Amino acid sequence: MQKIIDLAAVKLIHIIESKKDSKKVALQFILEELDAAKDASSFIKDRIKSFYINESEYSGALNKSWDNVDGRDGPQQFLLLLTMALSERVGIEAAAIVRISIVEYILHHYKLGRYYANSDIKIASKPLKLFKVIAKESKLNPNFKFLLSEENIPIRDVISRWAGGFEDRDNKFNYEFQTTFNSSFWELYLFQCFKDLKLSADFSKASPDFTVKSERGEVVIIEAVTANHAENSDPEWFSKSRTNNVIDDKHFISFACVRILNSITEKHKKYIEKYSEFEHVKGKPFVVAVAPFEQPLFFMQNNEAIIRVLYGQGIDSSNGLQEASVPFVMKNELKLLDLGLFKNDKFKEISAVIFSSIATIGKAITQTELPRDIRVSRFHEEKGLIMDIKLNDEHFETHLDGLQIHHNPYAGIKLNPDIFNRHEITHYFYDPIKKKIYNQQNSYTIISRNIFSV
């Protein structure tokens, strides 16, 4: 069967490449195949979920075809005839499995769906020179120094690609990337997200960090911030001296809550006092994009801390992992801080919060061919948590995988979810009446990811 799959995939690619606008033909071919298979067996439907293509994209695709796709010499007819011949030999179900496997090969070849990799190269007026060392040795951030090793050239290449088209408005970005690192890294990660989402950035505006526009002309104001370690705490690059059960330590999550809460409230204050007066900001959704880098093993918090900060809810590990109200967090064992920023209208100026705990150097590593072991946990709507360990060259995740959008129900100006409509992006909505969180997470999207040297 594998030989049939391989030969059929090669033939299909040859047919598609012979057509005008071959990548457009490939995408339409895939969408039609998914549309035709959406009522197939549970196995096929589950396989489709792992392709990272929203049902809204392929539903009705069969009615939008053209000759280059389903004409007599098109890829659709070739695969249909092959499937019919296979059905007579091995049965309908086995033939359907072969068919969907061939479709996945086409998906992989054209880097669509879960294999998507943005190949667009944007050039800034003054391209960043991130890895031309300009800071003193004593000032270099440990994360930046890690990237300078010969082995990590592929990682540097990926980050430089993210930076393509990024404009340094105050001539400080290169230096800050080398000395403080995390906040600059987070901005570059976000910038590549915007490129993948086809959001154009207007760098003529000095602040906030990003003014982006969708293809439909909708403008969103985004301020990036990182939750960093406190003056009297270990930075995230310190050795992982804590136990493997750190995620069960209530102080770990509480500390993360305090630092994230501080970052969001500071940006809210800045919006009230400064940004709200800017003409290009008025009347536009204002989004705070926050990433946690506040302590060693910060990436293990997943969404637990941000859920507490925004909705005042958490998991009670002593009561069968039931949801529980978490209205406060203790800071320095001295002061109670209110949680649940999106449970009333005190933060109505913030339309939404963007968050990710896996937008780390590990994200860049997964976009290289460096030999690494990847341990990943994924969400599945029926199976729950799926754990897996794979080699880096067998692992898949997109740049957007792991991104969360938390919508504020009390926002004066709402963020249109369609602007961030991708299979791998999880949207969170809060119902103040029912006091319930509704998250729209799709199967096979990433919850957490760890990387280990082979």
Residues 216, 157 share a domain: yes
Strand partners, 288: 223, 353
Three-state DSSP state, 188: helix
Residue 121 lies in a domain: no
Residue 130 lies in a domain: no
Residues 196, 49 share a domain: no
pLDDT of residue 454: 82
Query: CA 409, 436, 247 angle in degrees (round to 5)?
Result: 105
| b/e map 309-332, b = 16+ CB within 10 Å | bbbbbbbeeeeeeeeeebebbebe
Q: What is the pLDDT of residues 21-36, one digit of tens each?
A: 999 999 999 999 999 9
Q: What is the pLDDT of residues 145-193, one digit of tens each?
A: 999 999 999 999 999 999 999 999 999 999 999 999 999 999 999 999 9
Distance CA 255, CA 234 (A): 12
- Across the range 416-429, mean pLDDT stands at 97
Give the number of residues written for the chain: 454
Q: Higher pLDDT residue, 333 or 159?
A: 159
Structural domains of the chain, count: 2
* SS3 assignment for 278-313: CCCCCCCCEEEEEEEECCCCHHHHCCHHHHHHHHCE
Indicate left, alpha or beta for 314 from its phi (over 0: left) and psi (-120 to 50: alpha).
beta
Q: What is the pLDDT of residues 342-394, one digit of tens each?
A: 999 999 999 999 999 999 999 999 999 999 999 999 999 999 999 999 999 99
Residues 330, 189 share a domain: yes
Last residue of a domain, one of 49, 82, 115: 115
Residue 129 lies in a domain: no
Distance CA 287, CA 415 (A): 8
Chain-centre distance of CA 339, in angstroms? 25
Q: Mean pLDDT in the chain?
A: 94
Chain-centre distance of CA 169, in angstroms? 26
Please tell me the pTM assigned to this model.
Answer: 0.94
Residues 141, 103 share a domain: no
Query: CA 224, 230, 232 angle in degrees (round to 5)?
Result: 165
CB atoms within 10 A of CB 340: 21
Residues 173, 80 share a domain: no
Domain that includes residue 403, residue range = 137-453
pLDDT of residue 22: 96
pLDDT of residue 331: 87
Q: What is the pLDDT of residues 89-126, one digit of tens each?
A: 999 999 999 999 999 999 999 999 999 999 888 999 99
CA-based R_g, the chain, Å: 24
User: Sorting pLDDT into bands at 50, 70 and 90, what band is 333?
Assistant: confident
Q: Higher pLDDT residue, 321 or 420?
A: 420
Q: Are 418 and 352 in contact (CB under 8 A)?
A: no
Last residue of a domain, one of 115, 147, 178: 115
Sign of CA dihedral 159, 164, 166, 171: positive
Statement: residue 276 has pLDDT above 90: yes
Residues 286, 429 share a domain: yes
Residues 83, 215 share a domain: no
Residue 300 lies in a domain: yes
Residues 152, 91 share a domain: no
Which helix (H) or strand (E) segment holds residue 87: the answer is helix 75-90
Residues 388, 426 share a domain: yes
User: Sorting pLDDT into bands at 50, 70 and 90, what band is 243?
Assistant: very low
- Across the range 46-70, mean pLDDT stands at 95
Residue 180 lies in a domain: yes
Residues 305, 174 share a domain: yes
Distance CA 249, CA 176 (A): 33
Range name among 79-83, 239-243, 269-273, 316-320 with the lowest pLDDT average: 239-243
How far from 95 is each of 32, 98, 295, 318, 414, CA to CA, in Å?
Answer: 17, 5, 51, 49, 47
CB atoms within 10 A of CB 280: 15
Distance CA 288, CA 266 (A): 10
Residue 126 lies in a domain: no
Residue 18 lies in a domain: yes
Distance CA 158, CA 192 (A): 10
Residues 64, 172 share a domain: no
Distance CA 301, CA 234 (A): 16
Residues 169, 66 share a domain: no
Residue 254 lies in a domain: yes
